[in-house]
Structure 1
Amino acid sequence: MTRHVDVLIIGAGLSGIGMACHLTREKTGRSYLILERRTAIGGTWDLFKYPGIRSDSDMYTFGYGFRPWHGTKVLADGPRIRQYIEDTAAEYGVTDHIRFGRKVTKTSWTSDEGGWTVEVLDERTGKTETYTSDFLIGCTGYYDYDNGYRPRFPGEENFGGQIVHPQHWPEDLDYRGKRVVVIGSGATAITLIPAMSTDAAHVTMLQRSPTYIAALPADDPVAVGFKFAKVPAAIAYKAGRARNIALQRASYQLSRTNPKLSAKLMLAAVRAQVGPDIDMKHFTPNYNPWDQRLCVVPNGDLFRVLRRGEASIVTDTIETFTEKGIRLSSGEELEADIVVSATGLTVQMLGGAQLEVDGQTLATRDLVAYKGALLGTVPNMMVILGYTNASWTLKADLAAEYFCRLLNHMRDNGYTEVVAIPEEGDRSEASLMGGALTSGYIQRGDGVMPRQGTRGPWQVVNNYFRDRALLRKAPLEDGILRFRRTTRKTAPVTAETRSA
């Protein structure tokens, strides 16, 4: 059976739920469905279950702009974020529009038919389903849910303990009284260290190279003040959000214009946190601030367990695993019962689905992004990717608003098709995120990510204030977007009548 909707959304995580809510809020009048491979709402926040999982952006900006996050915590834990997304879906009537357990395998645009045909596997029954739509929106993020990045370590077959990856945390993993080594220096590693040190005999953070780390208060003092003064929640959220957006931008801008000063300030703050007995080589990266994403720790929890000796940090490379642990290139051996490979993500677009236009399979790497949202030469499609230097949701909200502007403009003018057409020289060789960050997962994903543009709306600059004007206010008919009036030739078997 073929089902038809106006808008088909892939993914019921933070971006997908937000997109669906905007379809209703912006009064698009479009019917929609969300195809979600998992059995619950939440995306990342339903998948990851490792100890201490939390946001790495403040909740004033990580929450949706249209639905305040209530609470004073700067960073929120995974279960609360997932609940927030679920509650948002319920409030806007999105939940009934979700089809769970559906893995999208192929997306095909046909110009003659004027629409998308999407092939889907129902993973519960093993049956294939077909959906058609006028518009397609990819809200799957940019990583492979099945496979985290897990390098093969020399000699690991000799290790007598257990090796786990945070992306697929064993529910029955008992690390009480165990010696744990966490390999990695990113957001996941610095979250795991303090969370596991409470019950583990000892936790060692093994990093190849350091990362910039900043301590934030666990509770936002301004949010606490607003709550004490009984400021209405909506006003407090709006004010706190504006402040944090400005602070994020100022911090990032300082790192770009005066990286030496930015690094000096960050490292001085770390020294104040860790005390005089810990070698600063473990916290002094060989790159400038924000060349890779900044890691944050609430109330300096990582630094606290290091000071107390409940955890330690080692900067070295792995020579080989041994029966009892890991032997380093320096000759030191770290004994371990459990090794956590917090080594990052495997980049993937559209959840691994094939993308096809008029019978031709397209590689996302060959495409260039328009306004960081549409894909050049691909009609009636948007892919939502959040910021790398600020909260993901800030960009996701803007992109969703922009697409709703497009939908309403097309409805009001009788258009049925829109496509961004790049000119020669608009596409650069840098990936959409590679121009901003040098993180390992971004370098590994270069063969998958769409390309960065060289100029104008093709160029992604990761600047909320610029994007806010570009996506909310800039003219839609700019000579780059081509609009057409066509008639869909094939009649769908079953049409969804519920509209946003």
Structure 2
Amino acid sequence: MPIKSVDVLIVGAGLSGIGAAVFLQERCPEKSYSIFEGRDAIGGTWDLFRYPGIRSDSDMYTLGYEFKPWEGGKSLADGTAIRSYVTETATEHGIDKHIQFGHKVLSANWSKEQSHWTVIAQLNDGETVQCHAKFLYMCSGYYDYDRGFRPEFTEESSFDGEIVHPQHWPENLDYTGKQVVIIGSGATAVTLVPAMVDKAKSVTMLQRSPTWIVSKPAKDRLALTLRKFLPATWAYRFARWKNVQFQQRLYHLTRTRPEFTKKKLLKMIRKEVGPDYDVDTHLTPNYNPWDQRVCLVPDSDLFVALREGKASIATDEIDHFTPRGIALKSGEELPADIIVTATGLNLTRLGKVDFSVDGTPVDFSNTWYYRGLMYSGVPNLVSTFGYINASWTLRADLIAGFVCRLLNHMDSKHSESVTPTLRPEDSGMEPRPWIDGFPAGYITRSEHLFPKQGPEAPWTNPQILSVEKSFFEEGDLDDGVLNYG
């Protein structure tokens, strides 16, 4: 089989990868490209996850692409609607013709002599193919698609019911009339609880400690009103601007006035669940808002389920599983027919691909993070990681625009490679974690896999839209750090 050669290889056909391809087609029209997707469908996260109630916890006016208005009715959209939006984008722009499905990238080696990556991908039948790419653009997401985070519980094999993980939800699982215990308190758990209460006999969310949860209207009424009077693009841009401003101001408030924010949020929560609910035990986290991600629930659905007694929260620790359910350290036993382990994700760096430069393996934990998208000493490689404190796509769009600007700049310099390179003044930098000040479990469990940040730009990953936007769109690409060859 002949080896395919492209200017740019995009890895991943999810929200980031499809958006990257649109930017590339429009801003670098002379570049050839292909997309390798390990699965057999477009959508990434929104194709993989199929559990009840799957939805975004970011509004679609900011989770959507900057170039394609969101025209759905809900701002906090269902997973199927998001998958359709991504697929529609690919079809409208002809991106689907560039996707190679069932191509799971295993390795990538950069040749300095030939100035290209040799990428090896495995097909569904186990055979492998090669591709030569001058530039490698990783849009493979941030978590392990094959395996969610799944701690082992004492005596879980004794449980007579079914244990399921949301990442691999059984298509034929019938929970009608069943007692369901959901282990976890993150975004997945707070989505599952209200989605399952109408069919299940009982639904209990079992948590070690609470998470900050905030209600938001499922529909953005201002955005829907604007659609009636303005062209779709104008209405979308205004709604996007409005929501970005709100997100940034709220995040700034949580950082500068955490106690004030906590009081306001708790007041809202108490109003939602009623005066008799034990908010202190079950809904008051022991950390400040946005020290970890805040969970959004549409139209108070979780709070309504709690207030009406359709669902409950148990705040305790698991001692062991029993044939009939879960024994807690307090001595209580939670009866269960089905246990859902909504215990989180396993982060993985760059799609678990083995990278090397001239045959020498790249240890990303020994690299420095250039502006949260490139790696010291690694040529012609960009990866997309979105915002943890705002919608993912806001950053993915910025990175896509930056990549196009960088490729065009390389052409203007007649350069075949670009490598972030440490300067003499960068020696002795004090290393910081790749994402700083965000101690969520899925982040801290994976710190050893990821690059280091330095104390100041460009070796930082600020995760702040207002800080990054100006550089990604207009910053100097001859900054003395990007080394062209």
> Structure 2 CA distance, aligned partners of 1:247 and 1:44?
26
Partner letter of residue 417 of structure 1?
Answer: S
Instruction: Give the superposition deviation at 1:426.
Output: 7.4
Q: CA deviation at 1:443?
A: 0.9
Tell me which moved more, 234-243 or 440-449. 440-449
Change (3 A) 1:146 1:426: farther
Match in the other structure for 1:411: 411
Corresponding residue number in structure 2 for 1:489: none
Which amino acid is 2:21 matched to? A
Distance in structure 2 (CA, Å) of the matches to 1:174 and 1:27: 49
TM-score (norm 2): 0.97
CA distance in 2, matches of 1:68, 1:451: 36
Matches within 5 A, 1:309-348: 309-348=309-348
Q: Note the 1:296-445 alignment, pairs <5 A.
A: 296-423=296-423, 424-425=426-427, 428-433=430-435, 435-445=436-446
Shift of 1:401: 0.2
Change (3 A) 1:72 1:416: same
- Please state how far the C-alpha of 1:413 moved relative to its aligned partner: 2.3
- SS class of match (1:458): coil
Give the TM-score taking structure 1 as reference length: 0.94
For these two proteins, the number of residue pairs brought into alignment is: 481
Instruction: Using the TM superposition, give the Cα deviation of residue 267 of structure 1 relative to its aligned residue in structure 2, in angstroms.
Output: 1.1
| 3-state SS in 1 of match to 2:30 | coil
Amino acid at match of 1:3: K
SS in 1 for 2:4: strand
Q: 1:466: how far off?
A: 1.5
Which residue number corresponds to residue 252 of structure 1?
A: 251
1:350 Cα deviation after fit: 2.0
Which position in structure 1 is the counterpart of 2:63?
A: 62
Cα distance in 2 for partners of 1:226, 1:426 equals 53
Q: Which amino acid aligns with 1:453?
A: G
* Percent of residue pairs identical: 49
> Can you give the 5+ residue segments of structure 1 that lack an aligned partner in the other structure?
485-500
User: Once structures 1 and 2 are overlaid, which stretch shifts more, 362-371 or 352-361?
Assistant: 362-371
User: Do the aligned residues in 1 keep the contact of 2:432 with 2:455 (CA within 8 Å)?
Assistant: no
1:232 and 1:326, CA in 2 relative to 1: closer, same or farther beyond 3 A?
Answer: same
Query: Distance in 1 between the 2:32 and 2:197 partners?
Result: 49
Q: For 1:129 and 1:415, locate their aligned partners in 2 and report how far apart those are by CA, in whole Å.
A: 28
- The C-alpha deviation readout for 1:428-452, integer Å capped at 9, x for no partner, is 543322x041111111111222222
C-alpha deviations, 1:60-98, integer Å up to 9, x for none? 000000111113422001011011001111111110100
Contact 1:106 1:353 in 2 (8 A): yes
Over aligned residues, Cα RMSD in angstroms?
Answer: 1.1
Q: Does 2:273 match 1:271?
A: no
Letter in 1 for 2:439: T
CA contact (8 A) 2:386 2:393 kept: yes
CA distance in 1, matches of 2:221, 2:377: 47
Q: Indicate yes or no: 2:154 matched with 1:154.
A: yes
Contact map agreement 1:178 1:337 (CA 8 A) in 2: yes
Structure 2: gaps of 5 or more residues: none
2:36 is aligned to 35
Instruction: Please list, as runs of the form range in 1=range in 2, the aligned pairs for 1:218-233 lying within 5 A after superposition.
Output: 218-227=218-227, 229-233=228-232
Change (3 A) 1:208 1:398: same
Residue correspondence of structure 1 range 201-240 to structure 2 within 5 A: 201-227=201-227, 229-240=228-239
**What amino acid is aligned across from residue 269 of structure 1 in structure 2?**
M
Aligned equivalents of 1:429, 1:141: Cα separation in 2: 24
Structure 2 counterpart of 1:459, one-letter code: T
Structure 1: distance between partners of 2:93 and 2:373? 23
Task: Single out whichever of 201-210 and 353-362 deviates more from structure 2.
Answer: 353-362
Counterpart of 2:69 in 1: which secondary structure? Answer: coil
C-alpha deviation, 1:244, in angstroms: 0.5
